Amino acid sequence: MTQDSTSLDSLRREIDSIDESIHDLLIQRSALVERIANAKGETITVLRPGREAEILRRLLARHRGQFPRMALVRIWREMIGALLAIQAPFAVAVQSSGRGPDFIELARNHFGVVVPLQACRTAGQVVRAVADSEASAGLVSMPAGIEMADEPEPWWASLAVGSGEAPRVVARLPFVSPPLSSGVAELPQALVIACRDHDDTGDDRTLVVLETGPDVSRDRLRAAMAAGGLESAGLLAICRRGDAWLHLIEIQGHVAVGDPRLARLAAQREPVAHVSVIGGYATPLPPESIP
Ligand SMILES: O=C(O)C(=O)C[C@]1(C(=O)O)C=C[C@@H](O)C=C1
């Protein structure tokens, strides 16, 4: 045996030993998640998107060496998805209209190969599947502009009338943007909904629906929000409900349903007659942070 093949053999034995350590740790992690699942008890969903975001941010911040960050994310997404599925029956309803195949890919990349995906034609059907507990979570397209929906009302407006048990937005995908495939001009953006509140991870956006009369400018809305102590990060979409206009607005930071700033905004009465928090998400990592 040559010197080279001896050292190759010994390097491979080291790799075998590392693989076994990784495997043992995976088995240990899985056992810990089972204990977490027992501790969660009767909660409505096992999904904790804020915790998932914190895990990925922490690992990416400490990462070093040649192993690609995108591959690190992929491994953890696969592991977390599999560990969601061992905690409870877990399925994701995915909107198949519009950029349907892209949304399926987005859901697969995020939830991994184990979690079953259920195609639903419209976003409204995804909301209903989650509300009726036919799916544990749903993936719907990121609203943009004035909604010309194939439903009486865009999906996000239906969340604004929901009770505490109704689906809410809990995550935005992709959390870490993969490189664009050839021929794809831009990545699809989607929101994850589930029957739980959005988490506070320290770097978040909140989605609110503001109800106003007609002809309220963006500047006026922004000023009313600022007077209430809320910083708008942008108007995502608007739609009409009878004589009222509904504005879907992204707010900087985590704002919980009972936040006094929302009450201050609604107390002004003009221009905002009503405010509903429909969820929020951990701010996705900028693509440039994943070289
Ligand atoms: O921390 C939890 O609540 C878990 O269920 C564990 C875990 C994980 O694998 O780390 C899995 C799924 C959750 O969405 C978040 C995290």
For residue 179, the tally of other CB atoms under 10 A from its CB is: 10
Tell me: pLDDT of 133 over 90: yes
Average the pLDDT over 39-48 and give the result. Answer: 83
Average the pLDDT over 234-246 and give the result. Answer: 89
Q: Over the Cα atoms of the chain, what is R_g?
A: 22
Q: What is the pLDDT of residue 150?
A: 46
Q: What is the pLDDT of residue 1?
A: 61
The ipTM, to two decimals, is 0.99
Using alpha carbons, list the distances in angstroms from residue 243 to 16, 34, 133, 211, 213: 68, 50, 33, 10, 7
**Which residue owns the Cα nearest ligand 1 atom 3?**
48
Q: What is the pLDDT of residue 162?
A: 62
Span 248-264, pLDDT tens digits: 999 999 999 889 999 88
Q: Give the residues surrounding ligand 1 with Cβ less than 6 Å away.
A: 33, 36, 46-48, 51-52, 55, 80, 83-84, 87
- Atom of ligand 1 lying closest to residue 29 CA: 9
Length of the chain: 291
- Atom of ligand 1 lying closest to residue 49 CA: 14
pTM of the model: 0.93
